[in-house]
Amino acid sequence: MENKKFGIFIAEQRKERKWTQAELAKKLNVTDKAISRWERGLGFPDINTIEPLANALGVSIVEIMQSERIPESKIPKEDANKATKSVIDMAKYIRKLEQRNILVGIAIPALIVFLIFLIDNMPMEGFLFACLPFVFLFAGLVMVIMSIYQKRKVGTYGISFVLGILMLLYPLGIILLLCFAFSLGALGMA
């Protein structure tokens, strides 16, 4: 999309409906300054705003993307909207994946550095029985929750569900071991 052409197209469509920038902004839940920036060719709407903008102006998503009216004889409006909507949905999905990958890329190295710090400053028994169960509990819960979410989206659990359950078994085993040791100690005291 060319930003000047896009801005002129949006302004023309808005003026055809005799709307102010503030009125269009209200329909899209954006500021009138955002509409002004778009119309002056200084920016584009967020990908999530393209479809509501097209609906508000009564044009197809393809017309918004090309910044011009397209005669209906060229492309059926419904087909063009479906095709463009799937491109927008794909862009949203890719953005979510990128955000998740950034988060994972930051969290995993931070966790590794934290664990190295703990191992270096704690006796091994303290690390194995005090810190590691919490790490496994947190990681196991995250993996199980992500697997359940994946099951709803895709229909299958995947390997992360099994790994999450296995990670949850470690803290459970430590708790059972401590309970067993406590009961043996209580019996020995009696």
pLDDT at 117: 81
Of the ranges 31-40, 113-122, 123-132, the best mean pLDDT one? 31-40
CB 143 within 8 A of CB 166: no
Dist CA 160 CA 73 (whole Å): 50
What angle, 0 to 180 degrees and rounded to 10, lies between the N-to-C axes of helices 21-28 and 47-57? 120
**89-93, 148-152, 159-163: the lowest-pLDDT one:** 89-93
pLDDT at 185: 74
Across the chain, what does the average pLDDT equal? 81
Q: Say whether both 76 and 134 belong to one domain.
A: no
Residue 129 is classified by DSSP as: I
pLDDT, mean of residues 11-17: 92
Confidence of residue 11 (pLDDT cuts 50, 70, 90): very high
Query: Which tens digits make up the pLDDT trace of 24-51?
Result: 999 989 988 988 988 888 877 877 788 8
User: Of the residues 121, 140, 161, which one is the last residue of a structural domain?
Assistant: 121
pLDDT, mean of residues 138-154: 81
pLDDT at 72: 65
pLDDT, mean of residues 128-147: 84
Confidence of residue 76 (pLDDT cuts 50, 70, 90): low
pLDDT at 102: 87
What is the sign, positive or negative, of the torsion defined by CA atoms of 119, 121, 126, 131?
negative
Q: Say whether both 87 and 14 belong to one domain.
A: yes
Q: Which residues contact 188 (CB under 8 A, 6 or more apart)?
A: none
Q: Say whether both 114 and 180 belong to one domain.
A: no
User: Of the residues 72, 93, 121, which one is the last residue of a structural domain?
Assistant: 121
Q: Say whether both 109 and 182 belong to one domain.
A: no
Q: Say whether both 116 and 150 belong to one domain.
A: no
Question: What residues make up the domain containing 170?
Answer: 123-190
pLDDT, mean of residues 8-27: 91
Q: Say whether both 143 and 116 belong to one domain.
A: no
